[in-house]
Amino acid sequence: MTTVQYRWAVGGQIAALCVLGLVSLSIILGAVPSCRSKGHLEDAIEHYSLGTESELREANEALELAQGVDAAMPGALALRGRIAVEEGNLAVAADSYETSIRVLPPTERGPALNGLGCVKLLEVMRGDQNREQLLEEARQKFDEAIQEDQKRGDAQINAAICALHINDLEQAAAHLRHARTEPQVSYDSVISYYSALASVLWRAAAAGPGTARAVAETLADRDEELADRERMFTRAETEFQKAASLAYGRPVESRLGLSTALVQAELLAVAEPAVSVALERRDRRGRLLKRKTAPLRPGVPTLSLEKASRYWDAVSKALSDHKEFFARRPRSRQVLCLILGISRARFGRLDVAAAWVRRAIPKKRKDQKKREPVSPVIRFHVGAALFHVAHLQKKAGKTQKEVARQLEEAAVHLEEALEATRGLTPCLRFVASVQLAVAKWNADDCPGALDYMKDAQKTLAQSKSARRGIRDKDKARFYRNLGIMQYRDRKRPDAAEQVPAAVENRRVMEAVENLTESLRLDGTQEDLRRFRDRIKTLPEITDVRIAKAEKVPPSVPLITAAVQNKGPVRFGREDIRVRIQGKEVTFFCGPDGRIYALPREGDFFRTGAQCRVEITIAIDVQGRGKRKVQKTNRLTVVY
Amino acid sequence: MERLRELIWYGVVLVVLFGAYHVATSYGIALADREFGYMQPTVEPGSMCFIDRRAGPGRALEMYDVIAFEVYQKDKVKRFFGRVLAMPGSTVYVRTESKEKKLIVGGDEVATAPKGLADLLRTGLIVPRDTVFVGFDRSDAKFPLSQRLVPYRNVIGRVMGK
């Protein structure tokens, strides 16, 4: 053997020895329980991170091996708890986290406490009966986790979700603000963060401007205009989209997508069509360079047609994509259909709007055992929406027949809603009665319409003691319709009344009173004001002249005037005053609404004299809230 | 003298062995997909890159490092290359400056905003712990947001050269 060959042989032996050394080292380390369990745990983490079902199974097996060697291994307990939470095995998860808390030193208990809080929250979400107690326990666990591990934001995010469950939006916003400033969070927690943030913004925007402002202040976001409700809704939508995008391929992605659609639906429900306003910026030729949308009413969210169309498509898609979800929650499906219909109506898409509103109450299919339950409230809203669409169709110039058909359909739903003794609030009952009355009126059923108006009046009287009374807007609409109906119906024959003229007079007066009440409640109804002003509400004094009475001594002049009741002001003989030269004289009433005053000789005149006198006839009905009517004539009297 | 030479020889063999072990475990070669052109011209489609595996799981990465990483797509593992644009714990957001959408991290502009994600990133995105946010050299790259957040465990290594 040459020296070179010898060296290669020895080198090979060394290499072989090294390899053998490595192999034996791994075998020796594998025999040490702590090293073996660590190896199994690493395997489990590796399998778990791949995320598929088969890998999860293998992760479980590796975890069992790891825990078989060391049952109280903190890492294994944490992973066991996490897998159990994902599998919905909450008892195992709670047991793992509780063991972790027992074996770990106080400074490292944070994640386990957070996990235990999550288990409590999941029990709440499952619908456990001890909801309040579980939420309190979860809150305590998250608080402890925050205290023990302040660098990580996971517990803050879960505490925010806990606050959302008790509907404490400001508390949730405060936790989210802390989580944002301590951004050492896991990937799952980032998804939860954006989902919770979106929920807080959604609920705050839906609650009203006051809550929106308070939550925006607590959040202290970079966006200075976040307090604006429209901005808040849009931001909630974006945050849900972001969360869904981050959860791509996970089971939670579908739920987040649905939440995005629900926010869009809420915005469709509250937003008004945006009005385009021209900005000052124009080019050299005077052409407009940019357009901006501005809200009709400040504080009310607005939507452009383009954005609304996008939302309609998104919500419709959500309805078809999540059929199973909506089959379990028929009311949610009905509400979404209603929103799609009403929102389209606002943008003038009337035919499609009516079709979507009708979809809220589906017909029974052959494969269904029983019809989908429809609450009186939903039925009321369907009726009200169809009524509204019919009203808009009338304005848009649709034929009378089409409008009547629509109103008839609306009336059917409103009647069914009113038939339910429970379920409708006094406010909804009132609005339903008024709308039904209008529908009946349009169908030429005047007595029916006035009967429903009486029902509405009864509800109005009853609701005065209620905590949440009827809105002024609805009251104004009621008085408006009632006034118009009473005025138009003033000539209807009524057997109970002896004097038709008096009945008519009373009805006109009532109508005017109701119209005035409506205008008091809502002063923006200019058309109604013009209508009311056209109705004559004052008596008329005409044809003031000298007459000769043959039956009284010859050549006695009588002063006569026609006093006619042209309006609703009732007056009697006692309201009329006749003065000649400022002195009150007696008079008597004749046929055809004429009055006759007979000045006595000696008071003003002498026989054979001729003089010019001032005659004043006044009808004073100020006691009834009307103006005094007075007419003064100068006549030449020959006695 | 002969004995000393032998000892030096054995030493060299040992060093080579450990060196080989170290190179085998710390460095590697990654092939870019033929259809992957988002990192042109840094990484050409179908090219072979030398990577530093030490910059992988649990090892620190630095801003603007070009990395090779794995993405799980429908039970398949795909390999991509990207540039680290944000570190764990930072917030990424998009700001519009004179009609251009810029990606901002920690107050500094780091790249042009990714296509199709500007609206989502306008309100900010927190990068989770043990995760980096990656971008691509071509601004028209279409890549989902969830896959731009790369956990350390999915990082194969830092690209050292072609």
Task: For chain B, give every domain's residue range.
Answer: 29-161
Choose the closest CB to B6 out of A7, A193, A235.
A7
3-state secondary structure of A193: helix
Angstroms from B82 CA to nearest CA on chain A: 18
- A508 exposure class (CB count in 10 Å sphere: 0-12, 13-18, 19+): buried
| A539/A132: higher pLDDT | A132
Mean pLDDT computed over A400-422 = 84
Contacts of A298-302 with CB under 8 Å at 24 or more apart are: A299/A209, A299/A229, A300/A229, A300/A270, A300/A271, A300/A272, A301/A205, A301/A229, A301/A230, A301/A233, A301/A267, A301/A270, A301/A271, A301/A272, A302/A230, A302/A271, A302/A272, A302/A273, A302/A274, A302/A275
pLDDT reading at A428 higher than 70: yes
Say which residues have a Cβ less than 8 Å from residue A535's Cβ, sequence separation at least 6.
Answer: A487, A508, A511, A512, A515, A567, A568
At A317 the pLDDT is 92
Bridge pairing between strands B27-31 and B100-105: unpaired
pLDDT above 90 (res A236): yes
pLDDT, average across residues A451-470:
80
Contact: A184, B119; criterion CB under 8 Å = no
pLDDT at residue number A625: 45
CA angle A288, A291, A297 (to 5 degrees): 135
Q: Which residue in A7, A52, A238 is closest to B119 by CB distance?
A: A238
- Give mean pLDDT, residues A154-165: 90
Shortest distance between the Cα of A247 and any Cα of chain B, in A, equals: 7
A vs B, Cβ pairs < 8 A, gives 73
Using the Cβ of A156 and the Cβ atoms of chain B, whether some distance falls under 8 Å is answered with: no
pLDDT tens digits for range A546-569: 776 655 555 667 788 887 766 555
Is any Cβ of chain B less than 8 angstroms from the Cβ of A20?
no
More confident position, A421 or A554? A421
Residue A380 CB-half CA count within 13 A: 21
Answer yes or no: are the C-beta atoms of A608 and A639 closer than 8 Å: yes
Q: Are strands B48-52 and A594-597 parallel, antiparallel or unpaired?
A: unpaired
% of chain A surpassing 70 pLDDT: 83
Mean pLDDT, rounded, for A364-389: 80
- 8 Å CB contact of A185 and B126: yes
Expressed in percent and rounded to 5, the helix, strand and coil fractions of chain A are: 65, 10, 25
- Does the bond joining B41 to the residue before it have cis omega, within 30 degrees of 0? yes
CA A177 – CA A217 distance, rounded (Å): 10
On the question of pLDDT at A173 being above 90, the answer is yes
Q: Is residue A82 predicted with pLDDT exceeding 60?
A: yes
Average pLDDT over residues A159-176: 91
ipTM over 0.90: no
Give the C-alpha separation, A265 to A341, whole Å: 11
Contact check, Cβ <8 Å, B89/A189: no
- Block means of pLDDT (10 residues each) for chain B, length 162 residues? 81 86 80 80 84 70 87 80 90 84 87 84 88 87 87 86 69
In a 13 Å sphere around the CA of A559, the CA atoms on its Cβ side amount to 27
A585-594 pLDDT, tens digit per residue, is: 888 888 777 8
Write down the residue that tokens 């002969």 correspond to. Answer: B2
pLDDT over 70 (residue A293): no
Report which of residues A638 and A77 the model is more confident about.
A77
CATH code, residues B29-161: 2.10.109.10
- Furthest-apart CA atoms within chain A: distance in Å: 179
Mean of pLDDT over chain A:
80
| B124/A15 Cβ within 8 A | no
The predicted model gives A283-292 an average pLDDT of: 65
Residues 242-261 on A with a CB inside 8 Å of B are 242, 245-249
Give the closest-approach CA distance of B95 to chain A in angstroms. 12
Q: Do A403 and A390 touch, CB atoms closer than 8 A? A: yes
- Is the confidence at residue A48, as pLDDT, over 90? no
The alpha carbon of residue B27 is apart from the nearest alpha carbon of chain A, in Å, by: 20
Q: What is the pTM for the complete model shown? A: 0.75
Question: CA A329, CA A350: separation in Å to the nearest integer?
Answer: 27
**Section A420-448 average pLDDT:** 84
For residue A311, the model assigns a pLDDT of 93
